A and B are shown apart, each in its own frame.
Chain A
Amino acid sequence: MNLLLKKIILPLTDFPLEVDVEIQHQVTAIFGPSGAGKTSLLDLIAGLRRPKSAFIQLGERVLTDTAARASVPTRHRQIGYVPQDLSLFPHLSVQKNLLYGRKGNGAPDSLVSYEHVTQVLEIGPLADRRVANLSGGEKQRVALARALLASPAILLLDEPLASLDAALKSKIIPYLARIRDEFHLPMLYVTHDWNEVQALCTEALIMERGKILRREGVT
């Protein structure tokens, strides 16, 4: 992965988000306490917030360049975003949630197949269920699968395990590792749990009050 986040300035309530970093690892953690600006950074990459200044480039594609007044619309960014609250569509079945991103984003369908994703995440039997009837871990896997099935160029995972208890976390981490190993997608993994960083990531950006304080390799 080569993700450039340059000259990023976004005023937040208590402090500005100010980031200038290049990310090259496949799975990079953004590690820091709650309220450090981690979610805002993911929102900027996904095009969900307008920065005061930013240059964001993923691979060869410039997604945001405020100097040139250029911004790729969210729906064309090919970003797989799993937010902290998962945001599964409550009025749709699991299958309809999974297939929501299969049309309309212009991404080639063949990158990941429905069968492959549902098999890797073991959610095939849930297809006809209502979202409300899923357990926490099942919801987590459905949200991951939905993001994957939109054939994203990068996965943004915002504290995907924060709402789960320790037992469930240990069950979900292997699924995330399988996503990492099976689909070879670059991932930005927001967390404030160092155990998750060690289990999944190869690099961590330590963030506090809107700034990246340092980067650490993870072994």
Chain B
Amino acid sequence: MTAAEWQLLWFTAWVSALSTILILPVGLSTAWLLARRDWPGKSIIETLVSLPLVMPPVATGLILLKVLGERGVVGGFFYRHFNVDIAFTWRGVLIALAVMSFPLLVRSTRVAFEQVNPRLEQIARTLGASNARVFWTITLPLASNGVIGGMLLAFARALGEFGATIMVAGYISGRTATLSTEIYHSFNNGEDSHAYRLLGLSVALAFLAVWSSELFMRRKNPAK
């Protein structure tokens, strides 16, 4: 492994981890609302949340580019007011990874929340606990294995993201290149050994992330 390859691995890993942390508050809230509440239009939100799973990643990337580019609603706002670019920077990579891994986090944690016996939450309320206290002291601890599993799955998804990333952030060596975009770029340029080394690394990382995710999800919580 060369220094550049280590740097690439480091960048992909930390931006993937950061994207997972970034979506955690909204992801957990969405999953909890879907698991525990009924409201008008719930099925619309369920569908919207799952869209990035089934849409072509490049299509999602194109939408993001339109929103985050200098002329986009969000990208334009940040550029005008803070002189900050999002598209074709590491921030673009971060947002692409966050959007693409969001559905996996929500789906996994929703299942984890649904498996917590609602009677325990009700009895906690009779004991004087607020909704927030019930969530932090009962729901989340009892769903913790599923939540950690979901985070690892989202992290794994982010590690391998390609389509949306290439649209929003392009391939800029040392700035926006991730493991997957680098593999594509190297292979296209005939740098086969470099591409295969990165391929091996990707497989190992993905295996590790998915395997540990499965371990957590299968682990029994104290009781459901």
Chain A residues close to B by CB (< 8 Å): 46, 48, 73-77, 79-81, 83, 85, 87, 89-91, 100-101, 103-107, 130-132, 146-147, 150
Query: A146 and B119 in contact (CB under 8 A), knowing A89-B138, A90-B142?
Result: no
Question: Is B44's beta carbon under 8 Å from chain A?
Answer: no
B223 near A107 with CB under 8 A, answer no
- Identify which of B119, B126, B137 gathers the most chain A CB atoms within 10 Å of its CB: B126
Tell me which residues across on chain B come within 8 A of A103, comparing CB atoms: 128
Tell me which residues across on chain A come within 8 A of B222, comparing CB atoms: 90-91, 130-132
B223 near A132 with CB under 8 A, answer yes
- Size bracket, chain B contacts: 20 to 34
B128 near A107 with CB under 8 A, answer yes
Give Cα A132–Cα B220 distance, bound, in whole angstroms: 13
A104 near B129 with CB under 8 A, answer yes
Tell me which residues across on chain A come within 8 A of B119, comparing CB atoms: 83, 85, 87
Query: A75 and B141 in contact (CB under 8 A), knowing A90-B222, A90-B223?
Result: no
Tell me which residues across on chain A come within 8 A of B124, comparing CB atoms: 89, 100
B126 near A100 with CB under 8 A, answer no
Query: A75 and B130 in contact (CB under 8 A), knowing A87-B123, A90-B142?
Result: yes
Interface residues of B in 28-54 (CB under 8 A from A): none
Give Cα A131–Cα B222 distance, bound, in whole angstroms: 9
**Chain B nearest CB: distance from A150 CB in Å?**
5
Give Cα A83–Cα B124 distance, bound, in whole angstroms: 12
Question: Is B125's beta carbon under 8 Å from chain A?
Answer: yes
- Number of A-B residue pairs having CB atoms within 8 Å of each other in the complex: 71
16 A-B Cβ contacts within 8 A? A46-B122, A46-B126, A48-B125, A74-B122, A74-B125, A80-B126, A87-B122, A91-B221, A91-B223, A100-B129, A103-B128, A104-B133, A130-B222, A132-B223, A146-B127, A150-B128
Residue of A nearest to B133 (CB): A104
A105 near B141 with CB under 8 A, answer no
Give Cα A104–Cα B136 distance, bound, in whole angstroms: 14
Tell me which residues across on chain B come within 8 A of A104, comparing CB atoms: 127-130, 133
Question: Is B59's beta carbon under 8 Å from chain A?
Answer: no
Give Cα A80–Cα B84 distance, bound, in whole angstroms: 56
**Chain A nearest CB: distance from B207 CB in Å?**
30
- Identify which of A75, A79, A80 gathers the most chain B CB atoms within 10 Å of its CB: A75
Residue of B nearest to A152 (CB): B126
Residue of B nearest to A130 (CB): B222
Tell me which residues across on chain A come within 8 A of B130, comparing CB atoms: 75, 104
Contact partner of B123 (CB less than 8 A), chosen from A83, A105, A107, A130, is A83
Residue of B nearest to A105 (CB): B128
Give Cα A110–Cα B31 distance, bound, in whole angstroms: 40
Give Cα A91–Cα B141 distance, bound, in whole angstroms: 8
Tell me which residues across on chain B come within 8 A of A100, comparing CB atoms: 124, 127, 129, 137
- A90-B223, A100-B129 provided; 7 other pairs, C-beta below 8 A? A48-B125, A75-B127, A87-B123, A91-B141, A91-B222, A91-B223, A150-B126
Residue of B nearest to A143 (CB): B123
Give Cα A90–Cα B143 distance, bound, in whole angstroms: 12
Question: Is B120's beta carbon under 8 Å from chain A?
Answer: yes
Give Cα A48–Cα B126 distance, bound, in whole angstroms: 9
Tell me which residues across on chain B come within 8 A of A77, comparing CB atoms: 126
Interface residues of B in 164-212 (CB under 8 A from A): none
Give Cα A211–Cα B194 distance, bound, in whole angstroms: 77
A79 near B129 with CB under 8 A, answer no
Query: A106 and B123 in contact (CB under 8 A), knowing A89-B138, A90-B222, A132-B223?
Result: no
